[in-house]
């Protein structure tokens, strides 16, 4: 690999400035603080962990049932991690799994549906309190635009 090739890949990129490092660490901290506060509010009210809620909401959003492989993709989880988590959720009557010829279907139970109905307003209140309410309407719109730009930038795929 030539020097020019390494420079193109960023191998010789200048170190982050103090301001850039501070921005990076603020970003990481803000994400963790908000995510943790929202998850704690939901857990305190329902007893469900953040992964439990993520699974339940994804299955509910899929119509109450979804293929296990598809659920792994939707969550961004390794299939093994998901299988182990679903087994624990199944023992708590939150989901059931049905073997199919070409996979496994994950289905919400009536217990899970009642919990989802309870989770949604708690989650909405927590998101508003920890992410939206600290800002003005204009600041929220700027934040949304910045996050959308980061999330949808095709140069980072």
With 0-12 / 13-18 / 19 or more C-beta atoms within 10 angstroms meaning exposed / middle / buried, residue 62 is middle
- Which parts of 92-152 fold into alpha helices (H)? 110-127, 137-151
Spell out the per-residue pLDDT of the chain, length 157, in tens: 455 554 555 667 899 999 999 999 999 999 999 999 999 999 999 999 999 999 999 999 999 999 999 999 999 999 999 999 999 999 999 999 999 999 999 999 999 999 999 999 999 999 999 999 999 999 999 999 999 998 887 665 5
Per-residue confidence (pLDDT) for residue 10, from 0 to 100: 60
Per-residue confidence (pLDDT) for residue 155, from 0 to 100: 66
d(C-alpha 122, C-alpha 94), whole Å = 18
d(C-alpha 11, C-alpha 45), whole Å = 48
Per-residue confidence (pLDDT) for residue 151, from 0 to 100: 86
- The token duo for 79 is 């299939």
Per-residue confidence (pLDDT) for residue 12, from 0 to 100: 75
**Torsions phi, psi for 103 (to 5 deg):** 155, -155
pLDDT digits (tens, 9 = 90+) for 105-140: 999 999 999 999 999 999 999 999 999 999 999 999
């Amino acid at each position: 690999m030539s020097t020019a090739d390494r420079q193109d890949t960023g191998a010789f990129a200048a170190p982050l400035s103090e301001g850039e490092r501070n921005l990076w660490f603020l970003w990481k901290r803000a994400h963790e603080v908000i995510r943790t506060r929202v998850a704690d509010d939901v857990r305190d009210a329902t007893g469900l962990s953040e992964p439990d809620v993520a699974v339940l909401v994804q299955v509910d959003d899929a119509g109450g049932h979804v293929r296990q492989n598809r659920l792994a993709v939707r969550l961004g989880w390794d299939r093994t991690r998901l299988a182990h988590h679903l087994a624990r959720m199944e023992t708590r009557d939150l989901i059931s799994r049905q073997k199919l010829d070409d996979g496994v279907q994950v289905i919400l139970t009536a217990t899970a549906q009642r919990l989802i109905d309870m989770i949604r307003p708690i989650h909405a209140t927590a998101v508003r309190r920890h992410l939206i309410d600290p800002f003005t309407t204009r600041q929220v719109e700027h934040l949304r635009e910045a996050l959308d730009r980061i999330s949808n930038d095709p140069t980072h795929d």
